[in-house]
A = this chain, B = another copy of it.
Amino acid sequence: MHTVISSPTRTVTIGSDQPFCIIGERINPTGRKKFQEQLRAGDLSMIAVDVEQQVAGGADVLDVNMGVPLTDEAELMRKAVVMVQSITDLPLCLDSSVIDALEAGLQVYQGKALVNSITAEDERADAVLPLVKRYGAAIIALTNDEFGIPMDPQERLAMCEKLMSLCERHGVPLEDLVIDPLCMTVGADSEAGKVLFETIHLIKEKHGLNMTIGASNISFGLPNRHAANAAFLPMAMQAGLTSAVMDARTEGIVTAVRAADLMLGNDAWGANWIARFRAKQAAEAAANA
């Protein structure tokens, strides 16, 4: 199964026979007070810095979230999408809890966007999926509903199947559905990783759908989070995960993902791995020159 998203000049294919799709998560004011104040004052300049860093770190797609309280989020999203597309050709993932903001972003987005997100709750799905259909986008869909997040992999699989039927109801093809099997925190529940890996494996084996997660959740509250995340993502990839929303600035984690591509046979002859190593050597040589 291939999920294809695009900008006017670049196409990204998500699939189990493709290099892992890194969705850079940084263009998001959540928890960033200064960025929020700038956006509220109409200053979008920080976005350019974030874009540059995510692109430099190796993001394949950029998540754009403009969730600033007490603003016209639809207007901010519209401006941000136009601005980001003016400085990078990476495809975008339009991320909002506000349906008007998703629609505003889709109206101006050039190409085939990814939309973040729906859950298995009918009300939101029935509002968002018609937009996804109308604009020919793809959609991230979380395996929870209004009653919570099941901790049994079979129940999460059932949630995935409900999401599939919601897509069918709205005429959104399954290749445009990217399931988020929900990454919880191992610090709070030692079984969280196992449950996730088993859910990913079940969804892959039974339906072959593409999947993405918010990867950094796994290590919340633990020390040495980068090392924990760098081990975790290759494990999830081995189980069948094909994408993650993550901060591309952390080199060790991106390197782990590219190593896992190699181990899964998605980097023939290690060409990307070797090119990555040479680029790093060249950068170090230039820095020391």
Contact = CB atoms under 8 A, between A and B. Distances in A.
A193 interface: yes
B264 A193 contact: yes
Contacts of A8: none
Contact of A238 (B218, B223, B228, B239): B239
A239 B264 CA distance: 12
A273 B218 contact: no
B262 A193 contact: yes
Interface stretch (A27-35, A171-179, A206-214, A229-237): A229-237
A83 interface: no
Contact of A262 (B186, B236, B273): B186
A197 B238 contact: yes
A255 B269 contact: no
B259 A227 contact: yes
Interface in A244-260: 252, 255-257, 259-260
A191 interface: yes
A208 to B, nearest CB: 16
A42 interface: no
A130 interface: no
B263 A223 contact: no
Contacts of A190: 265, 267-270
B273 A222 contact: yes
Contacts of A197: 238, 263-264
Contacts of A186: 262-263, 265, 270
A194 interface: yes
A274 interface: yes
Contacts of A86: none
B234 A231 contact: yes
B231 A259 contact: yes
Contacts of A237: 235
Nearest to A239: B238
Nearest to A231: B259
Q: Which of A222, A239, A263 has the most CB of B within 10 A?
A: A263
5 contacts: A186-B265, A193-B263, A193-B264, A194-B263, A228-B259
